[in-house]
Amino acid sequence: MENISAVKPDDAICPLCGEENRCGLKQASVEQTCWCFSADVSIPQALLDKVPVDQRHKACICLSCITEFKSSQSRAL
């Protein structure tokens, strides 16, 4: 994952990889929830801690980054 902290935060872009985060709240033309509210999605605190301070609470981490992080953590065990 590449840090894109030099780039102005965009709430549709993952702050870790720079790809679209596919936030359901931002994409919806009507009120709906996002994939990240699903019961089977959890974002580890260690991954949240990787978001640059100036970008925290401004954009969602994408599912790819979450999946990659969890996969790397399980391989490390």
Q: Where do the structural domains in the chain lie, given as residue ranges? A: 1-77
23 residue type, one letter: C
Question: Quick one: three-class SS letters along the chain?
Answer: CCCCCCCCCCCCECCCCCCECCCHHHHCCCCCCCHHHCCCCCCCHHHHCCCCHHHCCCCCCCHHHHHHHHHHHHHHC
pLDDT in tens, 18-69: 999 988 776 655 566 788 888 788 899 999 999 999 889 888 899 999 999 9
pTM: 0.75
pLDDT in tens, 1-26: 555 444 456 888 999 999 999 887 76
